[in-house]
Amino acid sequence: MTGRIIVLAHAHDAGAAAVAAALARRAGRAIVDVVRPEALGVARWSHHVDPGGHVTTRLTLPRAASPIERVDCVLNRLQYLPTPRFHRASLKNRDFAAAELSALVMSWLGSLGRRVVNPVASHGMSATASWSRRWLPAAAACGLRVPRSVVATASRLLAPVGPGERVRRSAAWPYPVDGRAPAEVVPDETQMIAAGMVLVAGVQVVGALAPRVGAGCAALARTTGYPLLELRFAEILGALTLVSVETLPALDTPAAVAAATDLIETVAAGGGIPA
Amino acid sequence: MIVIYGRADDPPIARLLDAVRDVMLEHVLLDQRELEHSDMVVDFSSPARRGRIVFAGADVPLETVDAIYARPLGLPARWRDPLVRVRAQAVHDAVLEWLEVAPTLVVNRPSSMDSNSSKPWQTQLIAASGFLVPETLVTSDPDEVRDFLARHGRLIFKSVSGVRSIVQELDASFHGRLDRVKALPTQFQAYVSGVDVRVHVVGDWTFAAEVRSSVIDYRYAARAGAEVGLEDIQIPDAVRDRCTALARRLDLVFCGIDLRRRPDGEYVCFEVNPMPAYSYYEAETGQPISRALVSLLSGKRGR
């Protein structure tokens, strides 16, 4: 294997650290750089777009011996982007600096295309908020059973909930709960039995539930464009139901770390993200 | 049924309302200024995203909505009662979530506007659609800015993000302050001479307006005491096709594209506005943009 791999991850990200360590153990001639998000805010940047749209980026991290230029794969675990140079600035300037730096990081990661796992979301992050109700139709279309999800801006508008469901009222409601409080229908946790998880990492699907729902999970990863996904399931009234999807998988089992490492190696070796 | 989401006092919304009334198209306005009196229920797990919007005496089943035009602005600050604020925010959030998954035409889905939050990223997408783009440098190295300036002679600078900024020329008054880029990478672009052209893409329709102004950023001409003249023009078919292809690539059924026609006749694209304030251009040129929007919302595509 050749190339340069960047693990872009926070110091508290044990899963990313495990993958970085595995890569370093396995890597033949590859260079593995662990880059902290806060370093991006104090790095020296040169990001150039030519008239034809071709991008070259030179990123010089503090105390680095040489700049990062060619990148073969980025394991993107960004959750937020600190701006250490603006800690003492006004809130307005701090917000502006954060937006500007995020936009730059997004452009850099975007320019790397399918060499970034997972791809950039609107602000260059790894789309940590991406498991939202908008994924439900896609998951259902991939053959996965999903819970009913109904949102109401006033709980009095909700029809009576069915078995295995409950009404969760908005925590932001400032008054005693009444029918005007925003609410949503969610699975009743007291009737859920955790069933396990499935990790999709490129072409690999690992986890105890993979034989039962692996095909649907892999299809969802392909549909959404996230090659690294963790899907958690629960038994609700006896049916195996998808209850969460994480675009920043915990990577807390040897099998998950190995699968993620394989994916990063494949991408770095020029194999690209499996379609 | 057409749903329009925005503020009735926002000129683009006001013009669209006039246009839908002209053709007596069945529609409702969900006015952001009145959200505290509105309600919404959406079943995100149903294939048709069933539900309803209740407001201003109307009760609209979501399944009956054929198309949506959304121009969401910030919520009014006048709501001091936390109850009112929470309710208004809840409706706003529910509408935005619904816009993402509504199984109908949405002009435009919020996620389609993402590229606008990073100008150099959007520049890459623009170039991938076949347009020339201005040579761009985002840097925290003042020496590199000086080299870039020496190479191009004239530079402009503007925000990297979607935060609105005035495009300014890097003239001599800024040369002594270049060290400031060390604290925050800043975006510079080669100055492109020529004439500004704004193209609105509505489905497959295009409306091009030439902008005559002596200032770098004509949006702020009044501040500089300058005047702006707009004129409806025809653009070459190839440029028009590039505009519609760019809009499709960005998943925008309606957008405003900022071009500059160089003296050699080539067009350079600066950026794409996914929520254009088209009313200004329509008022100045007479281009029937709002009528085209109504046609689009009625199921027609254009050309």
The DSSP secondary structure of A77-141, one letter per residue, reads --S----GGGTTS-HHHHHHHHHHHHHHHHHHHHHTGGGEESPP-TTSS--TT--SGGGHHHHHH
Q: How large is the C-alpha radius of gyration of chain B?
A: 21
Is B121 within 8 Å of A107 when comparing Cβ atoms? yes
Q: What confidence tier does A219 reach under pLDDT thresholds 50, 70, 90? A: very high
In degrees, rounded to 5, the angle at the alpha carbon of residue A71 between the alpha carbons of residues B248 and A114 is 30
CATH number of this structure's domain B2-107: 3.40.50
The architecture in CATH of the region B113-130+193-297 reads 2-Layer Sandwich (3.30)
Q: Determine whether the interchain pair B121/A106 forms a contact, defined as Cβ–Cβ distance below 8 Å.
A: yes
pLDDT at residue B171, rounded to an integer: 87
Is the per-residue pLDDT at A1 higher than 60?
A: no
Of A132, A150, A173, the CB nearest to B86: A173
The number of C-beta contacts closer than 8 angstroms across A and B is 182
Q: Is B137 on the interface with A (CB under 8 A)?
A: yes
For chain B, the domains span 2-107, 113-130+193-297, 136-190
- Nearest by CB to residue A136, choosing from B44, B119, B160, is B44
Topology, domain B136-190: Dna Ligase; domain 1 (3.30.1490)
Contact A146 B45 (CB under 8 A): yes
Question: Per-residue pLDDT tens for B206-223?
Answer: 999 999 887 777 777 677
pLDDT of residue A128: 46
Q: State whether B163 and A55 contact (CB < 8 Å).
A: no
The C-alpha of A17 sits at a distance from chain B's nearest C-alpha, in angstroms, of: 28
Which residues in chain B touch residue A160, judged by CB atoms under 8 angstroms apart?
Answer: none
Average pLDDT of chain B is 92
The per-residue pLDDT for B86 is 87
Whether ipTM > 0.85 holds is yes
* Residue A274: pLDDT over 70: no
* Mean pLDDT of the region A119-142: 68
Chain B residue closest in CA terms to A96? B163
Per-residue pLDDT, A122? 47
Using the beta-carbon criterion (under 8 Å), do B97 and A140 form an inter-chain contact? no
How far CA B78 is from CA of B88, B117, B236, in Å, comes to 12, 27, 48
What pLDDT sits at residue A124? 45
The per-residue pLDDT for B300 is 78
pLDDT digits (tens, 9 = 90+) for A54-68: 999 999 999 888 899
What was the pLDDT predicted at A147? 92
Chain B nearest-CA distance from A65, in A, is 18
Does residue B179 belong to the interface with chain A, where contact is any CB pair within 8 Å?
A: no
Q: Find the CB nearest B185 among A104, A149, A175.
A: A104
Give me chain A's average pLDDT, please: 89
**pLDDT at position A127 over 50:** no
More confident: A273 or B169: B169
